[in-house]
Chains A and B, each alone.
Chain A
Amino acid sequence: MGDPATGGTAVGVERVLHTRVATLYSNLVTRPTGRAVRVAIEQQIQESGGPCLSILDFSQVGVIDFSCADEVIAKLLGKYRRPDRPHDAFFLAHGVSEHHKDLIEAVLQRHSLLLVAVESDRPALWGPAPLRLRAAWDCLNRLGCALSAEFASARGVSRGAANSWLKRLVSWRVAVPEAGGRFSSLSAILDRRPGYRTGAVGMSPYRIAAENVAPYGPEGETDNGFPAGSEDVASFPPESGEIDQLPAW
């Protein structure tokens, strides 16, 4: 806890929440519908009590329109990316079709947000990520879980630059800072959950039951009490020359 590599911001993920997005409607259209879905997800996150990975399951969703995608995806990602977010939550889209992807990508572009989605059983990074940020995400995704030194070696960059890249991924909520100075990809967190990949884990409709699973991360590190947002991008150390400039997001 409080490892210098993460700047004292170990969060980990205590729970994985599986949310069937289509519980209320199979066609996600209109803003009020989007708001209802988002509020239900937020409630589920709040009830989970600790840092969580929220899996947004679109497998039963037929149509999703721009208004609804904006209300659900953009507002959720925006809210939980802010320094004043109510809880530490990460999001992963699952069961998405090409149609969902088109609409969600448009919304991510509009708001300059990033989202990890599972496509054909593989994680993909959606949204307008600059090439080098995407490469960093790819690298962490390959490693699964890594110390900044391991990431530096895999990327061929200095440890300082590696640390900065990893924190940047965290600030975009597409990687999780864990205890002991490690960083995890979102898919690595899923891989730790037995049965998930084979679909053996039952899905509970949100509002009815958030799934509680064993805490992830080392014992004693799960409820660390670090204030949400303390690893926000504003607290990043000065970047090295190895890090490309992000657009003014």
Chain B
Amino acid sequence: MTTHVLPVPETLDDRGFETLVASWAGVEGGRMLFDARHVRWVSPYGILGLLATGAASAERSGERPLLQPPESKEVVSYLARIGFYDQARRVFDFQERVRRRPAGESDALLEITPIQSHQDVHDVVDRVRDRAAAILGKRLGYPPPAVLHFSVILSEVCQNIVEHADADGWVSAQTYNWKQRLGRQVVVIAVTDVGMGFRGSLAREHAQRYGDRWSDETALEAAFLHGVSRYRDPGRGQGLQGIRKQVSRWNGLFTIRSGTAQIAEVPDWIEKEPIAGGLPDFPGAQIQVVLPQLIPPGGSGKGGRGDG
């Protein structure tokens, strides 16, 4: 039996995840070993991506993949605090250096949380409220009602898993100081699953209409830009539209990767194509929302607009 070694990038963020997926997509059959020993930095999107890649490997080969956990003490400690090992245990076979999450609350806005049901969505919204109020209000300068809009974003992206993925998924949120990229603090929400993806979800109702043009890109466009849903109920599909509007109002970044494509609501502080195709194929959907610290009126620099 062959075991394929996949090196996990040192910086495991959205770009690191793409590198990992490219390696993963290039392997056919056999057990996989994810070598994360050299990881030095992770984002919620990247770490959920690692879990998703592990889950997709198990799905593909029928065998739980192996994981060599990071060696950096800081990373090990951080991963323990955000609950990574609790979830990794369900996906990977690995030798645990850290067996328990440290006592007390972590400094994460939302630890890695599995989403399997609507009740999980309720729990996430209930749990995150106080922390979100403190972080959004005190550290990022958002007005008090922003915590409610933030909860709506969280709720809708999590429901996307329950309603459309036909598979389990995870959510996590964290604050960072993006000194180099933005010179400001940001909140990052990541949600990922390894389910049927947007193309699979929408295919039965919409593929025929698109004919030969039906693809991951057109499926993402239909859902993201036009509010199309797999359900005939005209009330469906509002969630993503609502998130787009709110994130745009806050000058944030909102991306969805599914299959071989990625679509984005792009703010003015980042260079990014609004839609990209031809990516390495990966199951499910991977969503990221980045909300920057608000610039007070009259302030300068890149970041969120201070119009709440």
Residues in chain A within 8 A of chain B (CB atoms): 25, 27, 29-33, 62-67, 70-71, 74-75, 97-99, 102-103, 106-107, 110-111
- Chain A residue numbers with a CB within 8 Å of B159 are 29-31, 65, 67
Confirm or deny: B27 has a beta carbon within 8 angstroms of a beta carbon on chain A.
no
Contact B235 A30 (CB under 8 A): no
Q: In whole angstroms, what is the CA distance A165 to B236 when docked?
A: 32
A32 to B163, CA, bound (A): 11
Option from A33, A97, A110 in Cβ contact (under 8 Å) with B122:
A33
Q: Which residues on the A side are within 8 Å of B236 (C-beta)?
A: 70
Chain B, residues 110-148, CB within 8 Å of chain A (1/0): the string is 000000001001100110010000000000000001001
How far is B83's CA from A57's CA once the two chains are assembled, in angstroms?
Answer: 39
Please tell me if the beta carbons of A106 and B129 are within 8 angstroms of each other in the complex: no
B151 x A66 contact (CB < 8 A): no
Could you list 24 A-B pairs, sorted by A, with CB under 8 Å?
Answer: A27-B125, A27-B151, A29-B151, A30-B162, A31-B159, A32-B118, A62-B129, A62-B148, A63-B151, A63-B152, A64-B152, A65-B152, A67-B155, A67-B156, A67-B159, A70-B236, A74-B235, A98-B145, A99-B149, A102-B149, A106-B242, A107-B238, A110-B234, A111-B235
Does B126 contact A27, Cβ atoms closer than 8 Å? yes
Main secondary structure, interface of A, reads helix
Evaluate contact between A99 and B145: CB separation under 8 angstroms. Answer: yes
Are A30 and B152 neighbours in the complex by a CB distance under 8 Å? Answer: no
Q: Do A70 and B121 touch (CB < 8 A)?
A: no
What are the residues of chain B within 8 A of A70 when measuring CB–CB? Answer: 235-236, 238
By CB atoms of chain A within 10 A, which of B122, B162, B163 has the most? B122
Per the 8 Å Cβ criterion, residues 194-243 of B in contact with A are 234-236, 238-239, 242
Q: Which 7 A-B pairs have the closest CB atoms?
A: A70-B235, A99-B148, A29-B155, A30-B118, A66-B238, A63-B151, A65-B155
Give the CA-CA distance A228 to B129 in the complex, in Å. Answer: 44
Identify 18 new A-B residue pairs, CB closer than 8 A, beyond the known A25-B122, A27-B122, A29-B152.
A27-B125, A29-B155, A29-B159, A62-B148, A63-B151, A63-B155, A65-B159, A66-B238, A66-B242, A67-B159, A67-B238, A67-B239, A70-B236, A97-B148, A99-B148, A106-B242, A107-B235, A111-B235
Q: Hey, which chain A residues are within 8 Å of B121, CB to CB? A: 29-30
Q: Is the CB of A111 within 8 A of B118?
A: no
Chain A residues lying within 8 Å of B238, measured Cβ to Cβ, are 66-67, 70, 106-107, 110
Q: Which residue of A lies closest to B120 (CB)?
A: A30
Contacts of A102 in B (CB 8 A): 149
- Find the B residue at minimum CB distance from A98: B145
Contacts of A106 in B (CB 8 A): 238, 242
Contacts of A30 in B (CB 8 A): 118, 121-122, 155, 159, 162
Expressed in whole angstroms, the Cα–Cα distance for A64 and B235 within the complex equals 15
Flag if A29 contacts B122 (CB, 8 Å): yes
B156 touches A65 (CB 8 A): yes
Q: CB-nearest residue of chain B relative to A112?
A: B234
Give Cα A66 to B129, complex, Å.
18
Kindly state the separation between the CA atoms of A211 and B59 in the bound complex, as whole angstroms: 55
Cβ contacts under 8 Å, A99 to chain B: 145, 148-149
CA distance A22 to B138 in the complex (A): 28
Q: Tell me the bound Cα distance from A70 to B163 in angstroms.
A: 15
With A70-B238, A106-B242, A110-B235 as contacts: A63 and B148 at CB distance below 8 Å: yes
Taking a contact as CB atoms under 8 Å apart, the answer to whether B156 and A66 are in contact is yes
Give bound CA distance, A235 to B239, whole Å.
36
A interface footprint on B235-263 (CB within 8 Å = 1, 0 otherwise): 11011001000000000000000000000
- Closest B residue, CB atoms, query A29: B155
Q: Count chain A CB atoms within 10 A of each CB in B122, B148, B149, B235 and give the residue with the most.
A: B235
**Nearest CB on B from A85, distance (A):** 18
Q: In the complex, A25 Cα to B121 Cα: how many Å?
A: 13
